Structure 1
């Protein structure tokens, strides 16, 4: 029985690995997270405002069916080498909306926060404040469940 469960888990994991996950893109294009450089959020030596960096089309990387833009070739290369290290949780969809059962709400990358060591994006500052001032771990748990359901349907 334990062997059977392990096999099912392995098959599900390989299915997710092959499937393309949804990414928060612009309404009129295929640009992920508002065209912001996903690696810049992780530059802890910079102040918060300076980490919100717009990427350029010439430094574009396609991943999960979306176009991710970067401020430099070095940033694009860093992302290309290991995208999952830089992609915001829920591929940039609003963490707060997922935690409230509102589904996939797109974000533009401007409202963000790290919880633990993971990057989360929010549609609006009110959602970020809710997570900062509330039980973000409980909200994350609900959002993770909602995200899992979205991935199963995808």
Structure 2
């Protein structure tokens, strides 16, 4: 089963290699409001409330969240450029995410792949989030150096 998951994750990620940020739909977090995650909600952003930070576009569900982001943007940017934290921890690969599958851990936003019966957030928890996070941190540094 793990081999199948690995193959599927690599296949899904193939279109995203070479990008420091996961910009599916043209926005980080697929256009979901990165501030809302910190209230334990995954909310779609609105084109009325957008901004660009470090050449990356973001959408927000409200002007309040847009202003909150602008006051401290680095606090809200997802770990690993918005790619799947589990895939970074297990294989060191950039994989797409489901923007409604997330975790706030130690004040940082982590996003996960969740589709076709595979929920990498559950796997992240079951296999040891702290160890996977440590591996993902190291793998992300390697990926950014290769760029």
After TM superposition, the score normalised by the length of structure 1 is: 0.75
Partner of 1:89: 79
- Contact 2:22/2:28 (<8 A) preserved: yes
Tell me the alpha carbon deviations over residues 32-84 of structure 1, each in whole angstroms, 9 at most, x when there is no partner: 111110000111xxxx5xx1111111111112322110011111111112111
For residues 136 and 21 of structure 2, what CA distance do their matches in structure 1 show? 15
Greater C-alpha Rg? 1
Partner of 2:128: 135
The answer to whether residue 29 in structure 2 is matched with residue 39 in structure 1 is no
For residues 109 and 33 of structure 1, what CA distance do their matches in structure 2 show? 6
Partner of 2:20: 22
Where does structure 1 lack aligned partners over 5 or more consecutive residues?
1-20
CA drift of 1:102 comes to 4.6
Q: Secondary structure at the match of 2:97?
A: coil
Q: Which of the numbers 44, 47, 51 marks the counterpart of 1:54? A: 44
Tell me the alpha carbon deviations over residues 69-114 of structure 1, each in whole angstroms, 9 at most, x when there is no partner: 0011111111112111111111211001111215111224111112
Partner of 1:145: 138
Distance 1:107 1:65, change over 3 A: farther
- Contact 1:61/1:76 (<8 A) preserved: yes
Q: CA RMSD of the aligned region, Å?
A: 1.7
- Count of aligned pairs: 126
Where does structure 2 lack aligned partners over 5 or more consecutive residues?
1-18
- Contact 2:76/2:108 (<8 A) preserved: no
For residues 144 and 83 of structure 2, what CA distance do their matches in structure 1 show? 13
For residues 38 and 80 of structure 1, what CA distance do their matches in structure 2 show? 12
For residues 63 and 108 of structure 1, what CA distance do their matches in structure 2 show? 22
Partner of 1:11: none
Q: Secondary structure at the match of 2:52?
A: strand
- Contact 1:22/1:64 (<8 A) preserved: no
